[in-house]
A and B are shown apart, each in its own frame.
Chain A
Amino acid sequence: KAGVTQTPRYLIKTRGQQVTLSCSPISGHRSVSWYQQTPGQGLQFLFEYFSETQRNKGNFPGRFSGRQFSNSRSEMNVSTLELGDSALYLCASRTGTGDGNTIYFGEGSWLTVV
């Protein structure tokens, strides 16, 4: 069974640009979450989608947005990039949104903003 797949793995963007990251969950998983990981802040929850609907949201500005497609694949978008957005962006999937569902992480997308 393939794991959570994220693309691209590495990218460099300039301040002010926008970026779209993609995530394919494990087959059969309908819930996708996004996290930002930085050395100083650790793992911070961005949002979670289930059945194309955002179910939960973290404390990030509106520049961070996401969506989920009918095949459970998800994208997140960051507009008007800032230097502080440089981070590892992790996608995680699980079968549903129940508390007992284990989440599985992808390898992440490394974003560098210059």
Chain B
Amino acid sequence: AQSVSQHNHHVILSEAASLELGCNYSYGGTVNLFWYVQYPGQHLQLLLKYFSGDPLVKGIKGFEAEFIKSKFSFNLRKPSVQWSDTAEYFCAVRGLDGNNRKLIWGLGTSLAVNP
């Protein structure tokens, strides 16, 4: 069965620190990959996505993610975080081989950025 693992459940950083959130998935075929963010009191919104092509994907607000197929990973990065990046971050994967193309979600990583 497909699964998505986000290794860090809680991350605390100071402003200007660099961020990397891990995401690994278990699925042997072709995938679509997503990172969503949920700011306090707001709805989930798309940060970035990978469908095909350049494995380094740029998203909104200075975020990027790199798809490494051999490692089944799609880690999220930001070189310098801001207090406003405090939020919950979710990685999601959709397997494309077969009829059941549900989005499978990680449990999320809670990021707190101290000013």
Contact = CB atoms under 8 A, between A and B. Distances in A.
B96 A42 contact: no
Nearest to B95: A99
B43 A105 contact: yes
A42 B91 CA distance: 11
Interface residues of B, number: 22
A110 to B, nearest CB: 12
Interface stretch (B19-27, B44-52, B70-78): B44-52
Interface in A72-114: 90, 92, 99-100, 102-108
Contacts of A106: 43
Contact of A56 (B32, B44, B101, B105): B101
Q: Which among B43, B45, B90 has the greatest number of chain A C-beta atoms within 10 A?
A: B43
A45 interface: yes
Nearest to A58: B102
Given A3-B43, A99-B96, A42 B90 contact: yes
Interface of B: 32, 36, 42-46, 49, 51, 90, 92, 94, 96, 100-108
Interface of A: 3-4, 35, 41-45, 48, 56, 58, 90, 92, 99-100, 102-108
